[in-house]
Amino acid sequence: MSTANTVAAAHPLICLPTYNERENLEAILDAISAAQPNFHVLVIDDASPDGTGEIADTRAAADERVHVLHRRGKEGLGKAYLDGFAWALASDAGYTHVFEMDADFSHDPRYLDPLLRACTEGGADLAIGSRYVPGGGTSGWPWHRELLSRGGGLYARTLLGLPIRDPTAGFLCFRREALEGLDLRAIETRGYGFQIELKHRVVRAGLRVLEVPIVFAERERGSSKMTGKIAVEAVFKVARLRLRG
């Protein structure tokens, strides 16, 4: 299997989870294709009531780079990504890199290139689009979202000893072999705490992590699926991961 040490040899797949993103999906697929014409995208839709899944099907029928994974219902971001990763690794296409990315334009497609390069040229197993390294940041976020993000990151970093500035980040690029080496089935967290548990496992597996600065922009269309329940789950899961050592 190719180790894809160059950008030219890379065959990346973007996992793009969606729940009620009909106002964003077509535009983000266009923006991704404009930025990276060779990348494939897997839309992972949790039976969105607003018809996002049908929009994805229409796009997939017209574009061989677009794929759709329909899930039966909303089970949280973590479960959606785990299904997406399994799909990516089982595919005959032989994807060399697997991305995580939001569908709401918070993650600008212009960062796809530096994230991929951190893996192909920088030697990273996992490249993280990071808000909290020099050059990174957030734009348009209310103070309480920033507080939640920074506080959550600090909590996870301290409790788990993660050498990562932005442990809750969700714009990632994995080298295929790194993803294959993780015991993904053991991951329990359903909501956004998933991002923390995933990085915890990456660090414990001794993989190489690089943080690439990104400016995270608040969504302009549609609404956030972040809830208090999701935040509380993350707090407890991180504590449990710590207790298990």
Ligand X SMILES: Nc1nc2c(ncn2[C@@H]2O[C@H](COP(=O)(O)OP(=O)(O)O)[C@@H](O)[C@H]2O)c(=O)[nH]1
Q: Which residues bind ligand X (CB under 6 A)?
A: 17-19, 21, 44-46, 74, 76-77, 80, 102-104, 106, 219, 224-226
Rounded distance, CA 194 to CA 80, Å? 10
- Contact between 106 and Mg ion by CB under 5 A: the answer reads yes
Using CB positions, name the residue nearest to ligand X: 224
Nearer residue to ligand X within complex by CB, 201 or 219: 219
Q: Which does 12 bind (CB under 5 to 8 A by kind): ligand X, Mg ion, none?
A: none
Q: How far apart are CA 87 and CA 168, in angstroms?
A: 23
Residue 166 contact partner, candidates Mg ion, ligand X, none, CB within 5 to 8 A by sort of partner: none
- Cα–Cα distance measured from residue 229 to residue 232, given in angstroms and rounded to the nearest whole number: 5
> Which of 46, 104, 125, 211 forms a contact with Mg ion (CB under 5 A)?
104
If the CB atoms of residues 102 and 125 are measured against ligand X, the closer one turns out to be: 102
Site for Mg ion, residues 165 to 224, rule: CB under 5 A: 219
SS (HEC) of the chain: CCCCCCCCCCCEEEEEEECCCCCCHHHHHHHHHHHCCCCEEEEEECCCCCCHHHHHHHHHHHCCCEEEEECCCCCCHHHHHHHHHHHHHHCCCCCCEEEECCCCCCCCHHHHHHHHHHHHCCCCCEEEEECCCCCCEEECCCHHHHHHHHHHHHHHHHHHCCCCCCCCCCCEEEEHHHHHCCCHHHCCCCCCHHHHHHHHHHHHCCCCEEEEECEEECCCCCCCCCCHHHHHHHHHHHHHHHHHC
Selection from Mg ion, ligand X, none that 100 binds (CB < 5 to 8 A by kind) is none
| Contact partner at residue 21 from ligand X, Mg ion, none, CB < 5 to 8 Å by partner kind | ligand X
Q: 36 or 106: whose CB is closer to ligand X?
A: 106
**44 touches which of ligand X, Mg ion, none (CB within 5 to 8 A by kind)?**
ligand X
> In whole angstroms, how close is the CB of 156 to ligand X at the nearest point?
15
Q: Are 76 and 194 in contact (CB under 8 A)?
A: yes
Smallest separation (angstroms) from Mg ion to the CB of 219: 5
Both tokens assigned to 5: 């040490």
CB of 108 to ligand X, least distance (A): 13
Cβ distance to ligand X smaller for residue 107 or 117:
107
Least separation in angstroms between CB 35 and ligand X = 17
| From ligand X, Mg ion, none, interface partner of 194 (C-beta below 5 to 8 A by class) | none
Residues found near Mg ion in the complex (CB under 5 A): 102, 104, 106, 219
